[in-house]
Amino acid sequence: MRGAGNGRVTFPVSIYMAKTIVALSTPSGLGAISIVRLSGDRSIELLKRAFKPLGGSELQANMLTLGNIELGGIHDRVMAVIFPAPRSYTGEDMAEVHCHGSPEIVVRLIRGFISLGASPAEAGEFTKRAFLNGKISLDEAEAVSDLINARSQAQINAAYSAAVGRAHEAVKRIYDDILSVVAALEAAIDYPEEDIEEETAERVLGRLEGAREALRALIETYGQGEKVRSGIKVAIVGAPNAGKSSLLNRLLGRDRAIVSAEAGTTRDTIEESYEYRGMLFTLVDTAGLRKATDEAEIEGVKRSEAAAKQADIVLRITDLSDPISADVRTDAPVIEVYNKSDIANPHSGGINISALTGEGVDALKEEMYRVAVGANIETGGAMLTNARHYGLAVSALSELDLGISDVGLHSADCTLVGLHGALRYLGEITGSNATEDVIGEVFSKFCVGK
Ligand code: GDP
Protein backbone atom coordinates (compact mmCIF):
# COMPACT_ATOMS: atom_id res chain seq x y z
CA MET A 1 0.00 0.00 0.00
CA ARG A 2 1.38 3.38 -0.92
CA GLY A 3 0.45 6.83 0.39
CA ALA A 4 -0.64 9.25 -2.32
CA GLY A 5 0.40 12.86 -2.01
CA ASN A 6 -3.05 14.11 -0.98
CA GLY A 7 -3.33 11.74 2.00
CA ARG A 8 -5.62 9.49 0.03
CA VAL A 9 -4.40 6.08 -0.88
CA THR A 10 -3.49 4.30 -4.06
CA PHE A 11 -3.63 0.51 -3.92
CA PRO A 12 -3.04 -2.27 -6.38
CA VAL A 13 -6.77 -1.97 -7.01
CA SER A 14 -7.06 -4.47 -9.84
CA ILE A 15 -6.53 -7.35 -7.40
CA TYR A 16 -9.08 -6.08 -4.93
CA MET A 17 -11.67 -5.12 -7.50
CA ALA A 18 -11.99 -8.51 -9.12
CA LYS A 19 -15.56 -9.10 -8.07
CA THR A 20 -18.72 -7.12 -8.69
CA ILE A 21 -20.77 -6.58 -5.56
CA VAL A 22 -24.47 -5.96 -5.06
CA ALA A 23 -26.53 -4.75 -2.08
CA LEU A 24 -29.63 -2.87 -1.08
CA SER A 25 -28.56 0.71 -0.28
CA THR A 26 -31.82 1.97 1.19
CA PRO A 27 -33.34 0.68 4.46
CA SER A 28 -34.89 -2.77 4.26
CA GLY A 29 -38.65 -2.92 4.65
CA LEU A 30 -41.61 -1.46 2.81
CA GLY A 31 -41.14 1.89 1.10
CA ALA A 32 -42.02 3.80 -2.03
CA ILE A 33 -38.64 3.13 -3.60
CA SER A 34 -35.65 0.90 -2.86
CA ILE A 35 -32.23 1.25 -4.41
CA VAL A 36 -30.16 -1.79 -5.35
CA ARG A 37 -26.55 -0.90 -6.05
CA LEU A 38 -23.78 -2.68 -7.95
CA SER A 39 -20.08 -1.86 -8.05
CA GLY A 40 -17.26 -3.50 -9.98
CA ASP A 41 -16.17 -4.26 -13.51
CA ARG A 42 -19.31 -6.13 -14.51
CA SER A 43 -21.90 -3.77 -12.97
CA ILE A 44 -22.97 -2.12 -16.21
CA GLU A 45 -23.02 -5.37 -18.16
CA LEU A 46 -25.14 -7.10 -15.49
CA LEU A 47 -27.61 -4.22 -15.41
CA LYS A 48 -27.92 -4.20 -19.18
CA ARG A 49 -28.69 -7.90 -19.20
CA ALA A 50 -31.72 -7.36 -16.99
CA PHE A 51 -32.88 -3.82 -17.75
CA LYS A 52 -34.44 -2.52 -20.96
CA PRO A 53 -35.04 1.25 -21.29
CA LEU A 54 -38.50 2.30 -22.48
CA GLY A 55 -39.00 3.43 -26.06
CA GLY A 56 -35.71 2.04 -27.31
CA SER A 57 -33.63 4.70 -25.54
CA GLU A 58 -30.12 3.97 -24.24
CA LEU A 59 -28.71 4.09 -20.73
CA GLN A 60 -26.53 7.19 -20.44
CA ALA A 61 -23.87 7.88 -17.83
CA ASN A 62 -25.18 9.60 -14.67
CA MET A 63 -28.75 9.90 -16.03
CA LEU A 64 -31.78 8.13 -14.60
CA THR A 65 -33.56 6.14 -17.29
CA LEU A 66 -37.06 4.67 -17.06
CA GLY A 67 -37.48 1.07 -18.17
CA ASN A 68 -38.41 -2.50 -17.30
CA ILE A 69 -36.34 -4.96 -15.39
CA GLU A 70 -36.76 -8.70 -15.71
CA LEU A 71 -34.65 -10.62 -13.24
CA GLY A 72 -34.92 -13.25 -10.50
CA GLY A 73 -38.33 -14.32 -11.76
CA ILE A 74 -39.95 -10.88 -11.49
CA HIS A 75 -40.73 -7.86 -13.65
CA ASP A 76 -40.79 -4.28 -12.39
CA ARG A 77 -41.01 -0.82 -13.93
CA VAL A 78 -37.89 0.91 -12.54
CA MET A 79 -35.45 3.75 -12.98
CA ALA A 80 -31.85 2.75 -13.58
CA VAL A 81 -28.59 4.66 -13.76
CA ILE A 82 -24.97 3.84 -14.55
CA PHE A 83 -21.87 5.62 -13.24
CA PRO A 84 -18.86 4.56 -15.32
CA ALA A 85 -15.46 4.50 -13.60
CA PRO A 86 -13.72 6.53 -12.39
CA ARG A 87 -16.46 9.13 -11.83
CA SER A 88 -18.48 7.13 -9.34
CA TYR A 89 -18.68 6.88 -5.56
CA THR A 90 -16.42 3.82 -5.43
CA GLY A 91 -14.26 4.83 -8.37
CA GLU A 92 -15.36 1.65 -10.17
CA ASP A 93 -18.14 1.07 -12.69
CA MET A 94 -21.39 1.32 -10.75
CA ALA A 95 -25.06 0.77 -11.51
CA GLU A 96 -28.24 1.40 -9.55
CA VAL A 97 -31.78 0.13 -9.88
CA HIS A 98 -34.48 2.26 -8.25
CA CYS A 99 -37.26 -0.29 -7.95
CA HIS A 100 -40.58 -0.33 -6.09
CA GLY A 101 -39.93 -0.58 -2.39
CA SER A 102 -41.09 -4.12 -1.76
CA PRO A 103 -38.76 -6.42 0.19
CA GLU A 104 -39.83 -9.28 -2.12
CA ILE A 105 -38.80 -7.38 -5.26
CA VAL A 106 -35.50 -6.36 -3.65
CA VAL A 107 -34.60 -9.90 -2.53
CA ARG A 108 -35.39 -11.32 -5.97
CA LEU A 109 -33.43 -8.64 -7.80
CA ILE A 110 -30.39 -9.15 -5.58
CA ARG A 111 -30.62 -12.93 -5.98
CA GLY A 112 -30.98 -12.37 -9.72
CA PHE A 113 -27.80 -10.27 -9.90
CA ILE A 114 -25.99 -12.90 -7.81
CA SER A 115 -27.11 -15.61 -10.24
CA LEU A 116 -25.61 -13.49 -13.04
CA GLY A 117 -22.26 -13.43 -11.23
CA ALA A 118 -22.37 -10.62 -8.63
CA SER A 119 -21.43 -11.24 -4.98
CA PRO A 120 -23.30 -9.90 -1.95
CA ALA A 121 -21.50 -6.82 -0.59
CA GLU A 122 -20.03 -6.87 2.88
CA ALA A 123 -20.70 -4.15 5.48
CA GLY A 124 -19.19 -0.87 4.29
CA GLU A 125 -17.75 -2.46 1.16
CA PHE A 126 -18.83 0.32 -1.22
CA THR A 127 -17.14 2.97 0.91
CA LYS A 128 -14.15 0.70 1.51
CA ARG A 129 -13.71 0.48 -2.25
CA ALA A 130 -14.02 4.26 -2.51
CA PHE A 131 -11.21 4.48 0.05
CA LEU A 132 -9.04 1.84 -1.62
CA ASN A 133 -9.49 3.61 -4.95
CA GLY A 134 -8.32 6.90 -3.49
CA LYS A 135 -11.75 8.59 -3.83
CA ILE A 136 -12.07 9.30 -0.13
CA SER A 137 -9.68 9.26 2.84
CA LEU A 138 -10.19 7.02 5.87
CA ASP A 139 -11.24 9.89 8.11
CA GLU A 140 -13.71 11.15 5.52
CA ALA A 141 -15.13 7.63 5.17
CA GLU A 142 -15.62 7.50 8.94
CA ALA A 143 -17.40 10.85 8.74
CA VAL A 144 -19.81 9.41 6.15
CA SER A 145 -20.70 6.73 8.69
CA ASP A 146 -21.13 9.39 11.41
CA LEU A 147 -23.37 11.41 9.09
CA ILE A 148 -25.61 8.39 8.52
CA ASN A 149 -25.81 7.80 12.28
CA ALA A 150 -26.21 11.48 13.26
CA ARG A 151 -29.07 12.15 15.66
CA SER A 152 -28.76 15.86 16.39
CA GLN A 153 -28.21 19.10 14.50
CA ALA A 154 -24.69 19.43 15.94
CA GLN A 155 -23.86 15.83 14.98
CA ILE A 156 -25.08 16.41 11.43
CA ASN A 157 -23.07 19.64 11.15
CA ALA A 158 -19.89 18.14 12.59
CA ALA A 159 -20.12 14.95 10.51
CA TYR A 160 -20.87 16.96 7.36
CA SER A 161 -17.92 19.23 7.99
CA ALA A 162 -15.69 16.15 8.48
CA ALA A 163 -17.19 14.37 5.46
CA VAL A 164 -16.38 17.34 3.22
CA GLY A 165 -12.83 17.17 4.51
CA ARG A 166 -12.37 20.10 6.91
CA ALA A 167 -10.54 18.13 9.61
CA HIS A 168 -8.83 16.15 6.87
CA GLU A 169 -7.47 19.35 5.34
CA ALA A 170 -6.25 20.56 8.74
CA VAL A 171 -4.43 17.25 9.38
CA LYS A 172 -3.02 17.29 5.88
CA ARG A 173 -1.66 20.85 6.23
CA ILE A 174 0.15 19.84 9.43
CA TYR A 175 1.40 16.67 7.72
CA ASP A 176 2.69 18.63 4.72
CA ASP A 177 4.42 21.22 6.94
CA ILE A 178 6.26 18.48 8.83
CA LEU A 179 7.01 16.63 5.61
CA SER A 180 8.62 19.69 4.04
CA VAL A 181 10.97 20.01 7.05
CA VAL A 182 11.75 16.28 6.84
CA ALA A 183 12.53 16.59 3.11
CA ALA A 184 14.86 19.55 3.70
CA LEU A 185 16.66 17.85 6.62
CA GLU A 186 17.06 14.60 4.69
CA ALA A 187 18.38 16.41 1.62
CA ALA A 188 20.96 18.19 3.76
CA ILE A 189 22.06 14.85 5.25
CA ASP A 190 22.08 12.92 1.96
CA TYR A 191 23.83 15.56 -0.17
CA PRO A 192 26.08 17.51 2.19
CA GLU A 193 28.32 18.54 -0.68
CA GLU A 194 25.49 20.11 -2.72
CA ASP A 195 24.61 23.70 -2.42
CA ILE A 196 21.23 23.18 -0.79
CA GLU A 197 19.90 26.18 1.00
CA GLU A 198 20.81 25.47 4.57
CA GLU A 199 18.01 24.97 7.04
CA THR A 200 19.09 26.83 10.11
CA ALA A 201 17.97 25.38 13.43
CA GLU A 202 15.95 28.53 13.98
CA ARG A 203 13.99 28.16 10.75
CA VAL A 204 13.34 24.47 11.34
CA LEU A 205 12.16 25.28 14.82
CA GLY A 206 9.85 28.03 13.58
CA ARG A 207 8.20 25.77 11.02
CA LEU A 208 7.80 22.86 13.42
CA GLU A 209 6.39 25.07 16.16
CA GLY A 210 3.78 26.36 13.72
CA ALA A 211 2.77 22.77 12.95
CA ARG A 212 2.70 21.97 16.67
CA GLU A 213 0.39 24.90 17.41
CA ALA A 214 -1.97 23.83 14.63
CA LEU A 215 -1.96 20.24 15.92
CA ARG A 216 -2.60 21.40 19.49
CA ALA A 217 -5.51 23.57 18.35
CA LEU A 218 -7.01 20.62 16.48
CA ILE A 219 -6.60 18.32 19.49
CA GLU A 220 -8.33 20.91 21.66
CA THR A 221 -11.45 20.73 19.51
CA TYR A 222 -11.93 17.13 20.65
CA GLY A 223 -13.35 18.10 24.04
CA GLN A 224 -16.30 19.73 22.27
CA GLY A 225 -16.21 17.25 19.40
CA GLU A 226 -16.63 14.31 21.74
CA LYS A 227 -19.65 15.98 23.32
CA VAL A 228 -21.15 16.52 19.90
CA ARG A 229 -20.54 12.94 18.88
CA SER A 230 -21.61 11.14 22.05
CA GLY A 231 -24.14 13.64 23.32
CA ILE A 232 -24.46 14.60 26.97
CA LYS A 233 -25.38 11.85 29.39
CA VAL A 234 -27.61 13.11 32.17
CA ALA A 235 -28.46 11.04 35.23
CA ILE A 236 -31.61 12.03 37.09
CA VAL A 237 -31.36 10.94 40.69
CA GLY A 238 -33.34 11.61 43.83
CA ALA A 239 -35.51 10.01 46.46
CA PRO A 240 -38.52 7.98 45.34
CA ASN A 241 -41.47 10.20 44.42
CA ALA A 242 -39.31 13.32 44.08
CA GLY A 243 -40.58 13.60 40.49
CA LYS A 244 -37.76 12.09 38.43
CA SER A 245 -40.03 10.37 35.91
CA SER A 246 -42.23 13.45 35.64
CA LEU A 247 -39.17 15.59 34.92
CA LEU A 248 -37.90 13.10 32.34
CA ASN A 249 -41.24 13.27 30.53
CA ARG A 250 -41.16 17.09 30.73
CA LEU A 251 -37.65 17.34 29.31
CA LEU A 252 -38.47 14.91 26.51
CA GLY A 253 -41.75 16.66 25.82
CA ARG A 254 -43.62 13.34 25.81
CA ASP A 255 -44.70 10.62 28.23
CA ARG A 256 -42.00 8.03 28.29
CA ALA A 257 -41.69 7.04 31.94
CA ILE A 258 -44.45 5.79 34.19
CA VAL A 259 -45.39 8.39 36.74
CA SER A 260 -46.91 6.96 39.87
CA ALA A 261 -47.60 8.06 43.41
CA GLU A 262 -46.37 4.67 44.59
CA ALA A 263 -42.72 4.90 45.61
CA GLY A 264 -40.27 2.68 43.75
CA THR A 265 -42.13 2.49 40.41
CA THR A 266 -39.05 3.09 38.24
CA ARG A 267 -37.08 -0.08 38.85
CA ASP A 268 -35.07 -0.21 35.70
CA THR A 269 -33.18 2.61 34.08
CA ILE A 270 -34.78 4.33 31.11
CA GLU A 271 -32.64 6.10 28.49
CA GLU A 272 -34.17 8.62 26.10
CA SER A 273 -32.76 11.57 24.21
CA TYR A 274 -33.86 15.08 23.33
CA GLU A 275 -32.13 17.85 21.44
CA TYR A 276 -31.43 21.28 22.91
CA ARG A 277 -29.57 23.98 20.98
CA GLY A 278 -28.43 21.31 18.53
CA MET A 279 -26.91 19.05 21.18
CA LEU A 280 -28.17 15.60 22.07
CA PHE A 281 -28.98 15.11 25.76
CA THR A 282 -29.56 11.52 26.83
CA LEU A 283 -31.52 11.24 30.04
CA VAL A 284 -31.24 8.31 32.35
CA ASP A 285 -34.14 7.98 34.75
CA THR A 286 -33.14 5.72 37.56
CA ALA A 287 -34.68 3.88 40.45
CA GLY A 288 -35.07 6.12 43.48
CA LEU A 289 -31.97 6.27 45.62
CA ARG A 290 -33.13 4.75 48.86
CA LYS A 291 -32.80 1.54 50.80
CA ALA A 292 -34.38 -0.95 48.40
CA THR A 293 -36.29 -3.92 49.74
CA ASP A 294 -37.14 -6.28 46.92
CA GLU A 295 -34.62 -7.80 44.52
CA ALA A 296 -35.69 -5.96 41.37
CA GLU A 297 -35.50 -2.68 43.21
CA ILE A 298 -32.07 -3.45 44.65
CA GLU A 299 -30.84 -4.07 41.10
CA GLY A 300 -32.49 -0.80 40.00
CA VAL A 301 -30.75 1.15 42.76
CA LYS A 302 -27.40 -0.38 41.74
CA ARG A 303 -27.96 0.72 38.19
CA SER A 304 -28.90 4.19 39.26
CA GLU A 305 -25.64 4.50 41.18
CA ALA A 306 -23.73 3.28 38.11
CA ALA A 307 -25.61 5.75 35.88
CA ALA A 308 -24.68 8.64 38.18
CA LYS A 309 -21.04 7.60 38.02
CA GLN A 310 -20.99 7.47 34.21
CA ALA A 311 -23.00 10.62 33.59
CA ASP A 312 -21.64 13.92 32.24
CA ILE A 313 -24.00 15.77 34.52
CA VAL A 314 -26.29 14.72 37.34
CA LEU A 315 -29.65 16.28 38.20
CA ARG A 316 -30.38 15.73 41.87
CA ILE A 317 -34.09 16.16 42.41
CA THR A 318 -35.42 17.11 45.80
CA ASP A 319 -39.14 17.25 46.53
CA LEU A 320 -39.81 20.70 48.05
CA SER A 321 -42.88 19.33 49.82
CA ASP A 322 -40.95 16.43 51.37
CA PRO A 323 -37.28 17.45 51.24
CA ILE A 324 -35.19 14.29 51.50
CA SER A 325 -31.87 14.89 49.81
CA ALA A 326 -30.47 11.80 48.09
CA ASP A 327 -26.81 10.85 48.36
CA VAL A 328 -25.03 10.82 45.02
CA ARG A 329 -21.55 9.52 44.39
CA THR A 330 -20.24 11.00 41.18
CA ASP A 331 -17.38 13.06 39.77
CA ALA A 332 -19.75 14.77 37.33
CA PRO A 333 -21.15 18.24 38.09
CA VAL A 334 -24.39 18.04 40.05
CA ILE A 335 -27.25 20.45 39.37
CA GLU A 336 -29.57 20.80 42.35
CA VAL A 337 -33.18 20.74 41.19
CA TYR A 338 -36.05 21.49 43.56
CA ASN A 339 -39.34 20.09 42.32
CA LYS A 340 -43.02 20.68 43.04
CA SER A 341 -42.70 24.47 43.24
CA ASP A 342 -46.44 24.57 42.50
CA ILE A 343 -47.28 23.21 45.97
CA ALA A 344 -44.37 24.30 48.16
CA ASN A 345 -42.13 27.30 48.79
CA PRO A 346 -39.09 27.54 46.49
CA HIS A 347 -35.58 26.83 47.73
CA SER A 348 -33.18 29.76 47.77
CA GLY A 349 -30.37 28.06 45.82
CA GLY A 350 -30.48 25.67 42.86
CA ILE A 351 -33.18 25.54 40.22
CA ASN A 352 -36.81 25.48 41.28
CA ILE A 353 -39.19 23.73 38.95
CA SER A 354 -42.57 22.12 38.73
CA ALA A 355 -42.39 19.00 36.61
CA LEU A 356 -46.18 18.99 36.80
CA THR A 357 -46.80 22.45 35.30
CA GLY A 358 -43.50 22.85 33.41
CA GLU A 359 -42.54 25.98 35.31
CA GLY A 360 -38.74 26.48 35.48
CA VAL A 361 -38.00 23.60 33.07
CA ASP A 362 -36.71 25.90 30.29
CA ALA A 363 -34.31 27.53 32.76
CA LEU A 364 -33.18 24.06 33.81
CA LYS A 365 -32.49 23.07 30.19
CA GLU A 366 -30.39 26.19 29.73
CA GLU A 367 -28.48 25.51 32.93
CA MET A 368 -27.81 21.94 31.81
CA TYR A 369 -26.43 23.26 28.51
CA ARG A 370 -24.27 25.81 30.31
CA VAL A 371 -22.84 23.27 32.76
CA ALA A 372 -22.32 20.42 30.27
CA VAL A 373 -21.39 22.25 27.10
CA GLY A 374 -20.26 25.72 28.15
CA ALA A 375 -19.80 28.15 25.30
CA ASN A 376 -21.67 27.76 22.03
CA ILE A 377 -20.30 24.92 19.96
CA GLU A 378 -18.91 25.85 16.58
CA THR A 379 -19.37 22.76 14.40
CA GLY A 380 -18.65 24.27 10.99
CA GLY A 381 -14.83 24.21 11.16
CA ALA A 382 -12.21 21.52 11.53
CA MET A 383 -13.13 19.47 14.58
CA LEU A 384 -11.98 16.13 15.91
CA THR A 385 -14.99 14.05 16.93
CA ASN A 386 -13.54 10.58 16.53
CA ALA A 387 -11.67 8.85 19.38
CA ARG A 388 -9.40 7.04 16.91
CA HIS A 389 -8.32 10.33 15.33
CA TYR A 390 -7.88 11.97 18.71
CA GLY A 391 -5.60 9.18 20.04
CA LEU A 392 -3.46 9.33 16.91
CA ALA A 393 -3.26 13.14 16.98
CA VAL A 394 -2.10 13.05 20.62
CA SER A 395 0.57 10.46 19.74
CA ALA A 396 1.65 12.57 16.76
CA LEU A 397 1.97 15.59 19.05
CA SER A 398 4.26 13.79 21.49
CA GLU A 399 6.47 12.59 18.63
CA LEU A 400 6.55 16.12 17.26
CA ASP A 401 7.50 17.41 20.73
CA LEU A 402 10.39 14.94 20.80
CA GLY A 403 11.52 16.05 17.35
CA ILE A 404 11.34 19.71 18.33
CA SER A 405 13.24 19.18 21.59
CA ASP A 406 16.12 17.69 19.57
CA VAL A 407 16.44 20.58 17.10
CA GLY A 408 19.86 22.16 17.43
CA LEU A 409 20.86 19.86 20.31
CA HIS A 410 21.69 16.68 18.44
CA SER A 411 22.24 15.77 14.83
CA ALA A 412 19.34 16.16 12.41
CA ASP A 413 18.87 12.37 12.57
CA CYS A 414 17.46 12.65 16.08
CA THR A 415 14.96 15.29 15.03
CA LEU A 416 13.98 13.13 12.07
CA VAL A 417 13.07 10.18 14.30
CA GLY A 418 10.43 12.27 16.06
CA LEU A 419 9.18 13.85 12.84
CA HIS A 420 8.80 10.50 11.10
CA GLY A 421 6.88 9.26 14.14
CA ALA A 422 4.53 12.25 13.90
CA LEU A 423 4.02 11.65 10.17
CA ARG A 424 3.25 7.99 10.77
CA TYR A 425 0.48 8.79 13.27
CA LEU A 426 -0.99 11.58 11.18
CA GLY A 427 -0.96 9.27 8.16
CA GLU A 428 -2.96 6.73 10.12
CA ILE A 429 -5.71 9.29 10.66
CA THR A 430 -6.18 9.88 6.95
CA GLY A 431 -5.46 6.25 6.14
CA SER A 432 -2.45 6.90 3.92
CA ASN A 433 -0.49 4.39 5.99
CA ALA A 434 -3.21 2.60 7.95
CA THR A 435 -2.80 -1.15 8.36
CA GLU A 436 -5.24 -3.70 6.92
CA ASP A 437 -6.48 -4.34 10.48
CA VAL A 438 -7.32 -0.69 11.08
CA ILE A 439 -9.06 -0.44 7.73
CA GLY A 440 -11.01 -3.65 8.36
CA GLU A 441 -12.06 -2.40 11.80
CA VAL A 442 -13.23 0.97 10.49
CA PHE A 443 -15.38 -0.47 7.69
CA SER A 444 -16.84 -3.30 9.77
CA LYS A 445 -18.83 -0.63 11.64
CA PHE A 446 -20.61 0.44 8.47
CA CYS A 447 -23.94 -0.97 7.32
CA VAL A 448 -24.31 -3.25 4.31
CA GLY A 449 -25.05 -1.22 1.20
CA LYS A 450 -22.99 1.82 2.25
P1 GDP B 1 -40.25 9.49 40.80
O2 GDP B 1 -40.54 8.35 41.70
O3 GDP B 1 -39.16 10.34 41.37
O4 GDP B 1 -39.99 9.10 39.38
O5 GDP B 1 -41.54 10.44 40.83
P6 GDP B 1 -42.75 10.55 39.80
O7 GDP B 1 -42.38 11.36 38.62
O8 GDP B 1 -43.31 9.18 39.55
O9 GDP B 1 -43.74 11.42 40.64
C10 GDP B 1 -44.20 11.02 41.93
C11 GDP B 1 -45.49 11.72 42.26
O12 GDP B 1 -45.24 13.13 42.38
C13 GDP B 1 -46.56 11.59 41.18
O14 GDP B 1 -47.81 11.47 41.78
C15 GDP B 1 -46.47 12.89 40.40
O16 GDP B 1 -47.68 13.24 39.77
C17 GDP B 1 -46.08 13.86 41.48
N18 GDP B 1 -45.34 15.00 40.98
C19 GDP B 1 -44.22 14.96 40.23
N20 GDP B 1 -43.78 16.21 39.95
C21 GDP B 1 -44.66 17.07 40.53
C22 GDP B 1 -44.76 18.50 40.61
O23 GDP B 1 -43.98 19.27 40.08
N24 GDP B 1 -45.80 18.99 41.33
C25 GDP B 1 -46.71 18.19 41.93
N26 GDP B 1 -47.69 18.79 42.59
N27 GDP B 1 -46.65 16.86 41.87
C28 GDP B 1 -45.64 16.28 41.18
Query: 255 and 364 in one domain?
Result: yes
Do residues 218 and 209 lie in contact, with contact meaning Cβ atoms separated by under 8 Å? Answer: no
Q: From 119, 135, 151, give the residue that closes a domain.
A: 135
Query: 108 and 25 in one domain?
Result: yes
Q: Give the per-residue pLDDT at 433.
A: 81
Q: Specify the number of domains making up the chain.
A: 3
CA-259 nearest atom, ligand 1: 8
Residue nearest ligand 1's atom 2 by CA: 241
Q: Give the per-residue pLDDT at 268.
A: 56
Query: 237 and 151 in one domain?
Result: no
Quick check: CB of 112 below 6 Å from ligand 1?
A: no
What is the four-CA torsion angle of 242, 246, 250, 255, rounded to 10 degrees?
Answer: 170
Distance, in Å, from the CA atom of 122 to the CA atom of 398, rounded to the nearest integer, reads 37
- Phi-psi group of 241: left, alpha or beta (phi > 0 → left; psi -120 to 50 → alpha; rest → beta): left
Quick check: CB of 251 below 6 Å from ligand 1?
A: no
CA-260 nearest atom, ligand 1: 8
Q: Give the per-residue pLDDT at 158.
A: 86
Report the predicted TM-score, pTM, of the whole model to 2 decimal places.
0.72
Q: Give the per-residue pLDDT at 260.
A: 54
Quick check: CB of 260 below 6 Å from ligand 1?
A: yes
- Phi-psi group of 318: left, alpha or beta (phi > 0 → left; psi -120 to 50 → alpha; rest → beta): beta
What is the four-CA torsion angle of 298, 300, 303, 309, rounded to 10 degrees?
Answer: -90
Q: Give the per-residue pLDDT at 4.
A: 40
Residue nearest ligand 1's atom 18 by CA: 243
Position 443 in a domain? no
Q: Give the per-residue pLDDT at 56.
A: 82
Q: From 135, 155, 181, give the residue that closes a domain.
A: 135
Domain range spanning residue 340? Answer: 229-373
Distance, in Å, from the CA atom of 35 to the CA atom of 111, rounded to the nearest integer, reads 14
CA-249 nearest atom, ligand 1: 7
Q: Give the per-residue pLDDT at 211.
A: 95
Give 229-285 pLDDT, tens digit per residue: 888 999 998 888 999 989 999 999 876 655 655 554 444 566 788 999 889 999 886
Q: Give the per-residue pLDDT at 15.
A: 43
Using the mean position of ligand 1's atoms as its centre, give its distance from the Cα of residue 369 in Å: 24
| Residues lower than pLDDT 70 in the chain | 1-18, 191-199, 255-270, 285-304, 376, 379-380, 410
Q: Give the per-residue pLDDT at 303.
A: 64
Position 447 in a domain? no
Cα dihedral sign for 437, 443, 449, 450?
A: negative
Query: 258 and 353 in one domain?
Result: yes
Interacting residues of 121 by C-beta distance below 8 A, sequence separation 6+:
21, 22, 23, 37, 39, 448, 449
Using the mean position of ligand 1's atoms as its centre, give its distance from the Cα of residue 242 in Å: 6
Quick check: CB of 343 below 6 Å from ligand 1?
A: yes
Position 284 in a domain? yes
Q: Dmax over Cα atoms in the chain, in whole Å?
A: 89
* CATH code, 307: 3.40.50.300
Quick check: CB of 258 below 6 Å from ligand 1?
A: no
Quick check: CB of 344 below 6 Å from ligand 1?
A: no
Position 405 in a domain? yes
Quick check: CB of 320 below 6 Å from ligand 1?
A: no
Distance, in Å, from the CA atom of 140 to the CA atom of 166, rounded to the nearest integer, reads 9
Using the mean position of ligand 1's atoms as its centre, give its distance from the Cα of residue 330 in Å: 24
Query: 31 and 83 in one domain?
Result: yes
Query: 328 and 396 in one domain?
Result: no
Quick check: CB of 241 below 6 Å from ligand 1?
A: yes
Distances (CA, A) of 358 to 348, 350, 362: 19, 16, 8
Query: 262 and 210 in one domain?
Result: no
Give 346-378 pLDDT, tens digit per residue: 898 889 999 999 999 999 999 999 999 887 677
Position 169 in a domain? yes
Do residues 15 and 26 lie in contact, with contact meaning Cβ atoms separated by under 8 Å? Answer: no
